[in-house]
Structure 1
């Protein structure tokens, strides 16, 4: 085997080994017994929302404050209501999936001023918050 062929094989192997397995990780999924904290931002005339700031600054900041209690979070952008022609009832919905409501409440209470002060950087909407316990997760058609 020539030196060039051997070197090419080593380079190819190294390249394959360099690919991280992050692409192979399963997507985070809610599980029965977890809690979901949903932050609803109602839509309406004169209401503003900077999704870019929310995605890149606010939610990661709050996620960091929640620590290990946070399993994962998601951000949903409202695009329509009941039908595609209806206005979305919410501009955005942020969701934190946690395991302990008391730990969540404690983290938010300790950092309330920082969290609330950041609102002005992305919205003029007073959010509505709901905490739910996940009772069932279904995957129709999958075994």
Structure 2
């Protein structure tokens, strides 16, 4: 199993509409990626590791798949539409990481 993490770094000029992301964009992702998507979650950053420290990321979306190939096959046909929607909720360029789930 793999996890695709889409992470939105925090910053002084960062704009992010969590309500839109959590409802409209998340639903768009779920509707487009279909049954090959094995799990999906949205995290909102609330703090860093030290007292009073801001979260390093405003938000993260996590998508779970059986394999990288399964992710590519489901995301590829919808990439343009999903990426175009980013302008509706943020000015942040997300960081993407694909990880192998070990446990």
Length-normalised TM-score, structure 2: 0.93
**Structure 1 stretches lacking a partner, 5+ long:** 1-33, 137-143
Instruction: Name the structure, 1 or 2, with higher relative contact order (CA <8 Å, separation 6+).
Output: 2
Contact kept, 8 Å, 1:75 with 1:95, in 2: the verdict is yes
Kindly state the Cα deviation for residue 104 of structure 1 after the two structures are TM-superposed. 1.1
Which structure shows the higher strand fraction?
Answer: 2
- Counterpart pick for 1:110 among 77, 86, 93: 77
Structure of higher CA gyration radius: 1
The answer to whether the aligner puts 1:48 opposite 2:15 as a matched pair is: yes
Kindly state the Cα deviation for residue 103 of structure 1 after the two structures are TM-superposed. 2.0
Return the alpha-carbon distance in structure 1 between the equivalents of residues 74 and 64 of structure 2.
14
Large movers: runs of 4+ above 4 Å: none
Count of aligned pairs between the two proteins: 103
Match of 1:121 in 2: 88
Contact kept, 8 Å, 1:36 with 1:95, in 2: the verdict is yes
1:12-91 correspondence to structure 2 within 5 Å: 34-91=1-58
Kindly state the Cα deviation for residue 101 of structure 1 after the two structures are TM-superposed. 1.6
The answer to whether the aligner puts 1:135 opposite 2:66 as a matched pair is: no
Length-normalised TM-score, structure 1: 0.68
Return the alpha-carbon distance in structure 1 between the equivalents of residues 34 and 72 of structure 2.
12
Partner of 1:111, secondary structure, is helix
Return the alpha-carbon distance in structure 1 between the equivalents of residues 24 and 73 of structure 2.
21
**Superposed CA RMSD:** 1.1
